[in-house]
Amino acid sequence: MAEASTASRKRPAPDGTGPPAAAAPAAKKRARYQFASIDDYEKLEEIGEGAFGVVFKARHRRTGEEFAVKWVRGSGGGGGPDRAAALREAGCLAACRGHPSIVQIKDVATSEATGDLFIVMELAGSSLRDWLTRPFPEDQVRAFMRQLMDAAKKLHGTRTLHRDIKPENVLLVPGAGGGALKLCDFGCATPMREPYPEGRVGTMQYCSPEQLMGSRSYGPAVDMWALGCVMAELLSGQPLFEADTEEEVLEQIKDLRDEFDAIGLHVFDVLPELSQAGREVLAALLRFDPEERLTAADALKHRWFTEDAKPASVAKAEHPGFVPLLSAA
């Protein structure tokens, strides 16, 4: 961690902590940006690793405050794709600054020796995956999903897509009411700009059918599909889709669509404790047609979030369009 001093660039964010991708339009005239130096931080321990970088706990040498620091591999100077991706990730995080259910970016640091970028974030809890050892009761799932829906509402309101929502990318901070969730790891995040240059990104078991079918033109509905997969996993204690290839995952999704077409909300009889309202939300998140999926803003208006839980039942759906649930491909 003993890299050299700060590169001489100007930081655009008004609070002095944001990355250049979050710059205001007027800041585009500035030719250079100021990053912190990674030498200001003492590495304590590695706490995670993914396809795009390593996350470690670090202590600021002057203040003693601890942070989570993500080293984005291959993001050295020269303007290569990895550096651009690191700045994009930092910019997407900065766009969502201030939301309690999204991990907060604190700074962007660089190494003079390598030019690599380091995204400095708040140090939060452990992955939700670590807590998924059993199904959660409906009341707890509703509390968790309310937080994740509000995070998605903020995210999409900034015209940002996460594109890799899954339990591993949600942090759980234990506390009252079961704890607070924070959406993290924006390595696949991007500003909305259809069509996207990349093929499928993210984890295939949580990818929407349109992504799995090769579309490069999609919107917030891809994140809503992933949230449906997370909701189902919280309720059942196991992933909704488990397969080794994209083709197999897509086949499982089509099987679920066909079951919805045949029996409607009865497809959730395997979740007998889930209320009618909860079934409606889950079904609306897992619509095969992205145009028919709930948005985050509309989901938060659904009675599952606004009213007390009702006894499980598979009577007529609150919204007639929810049955049959998914249209044919």
Q: Is 153 annotated as a binding residue?
A: no
- b or e along 274-292 (b: 16 or more beta carbons within 10 Å of the residue's beta carbon)? bbbbbbbbbbbbbbbebee
Contact 125, 171 (CB under 8 A): yes
Name the residue among 217, 186, 183 with its Cα closest to residue 200. 217
Q: List, as one string, the DSSP characters of 218-235.
A: --THHHHHHHHHHHHHHH
**How far is residue 258's CA from residue 252's CA, in Å, rounded to a whole number?**
10
- For residue 298, the surrounding DSSP H or E stretch is helix 296-301
Beta strand 53-60 with 41-49 is antiparallel
Residue with tokens 């995080």: 93
Residue 223, CB-side half-sphere exposure with 13 Å CA sphere: 30
| 256: its two tokens | 């679920």
Residues forming the active site? 164
The closest alpha carbon to 186, from 299, 24, 41, 19, belongs to: 19
H or E stretch including 89? helix 81-95
Neighbours of 103 (CB within 10 A): 22
Element (H, E) at 311: none
- Among 41, 48, 52, smallest CA distance to 81 is for 52
- Hey, CA dihedral for 79, 85, 88, 93, is it positive or negative? negative
Which among 304, 299, 302 is positioned nearest to 275, based on CA atoms? Answer: 304
Q: State how far the Cα of 226 lies from the Cα of 166, in Å rounded to an integer.
A: 7
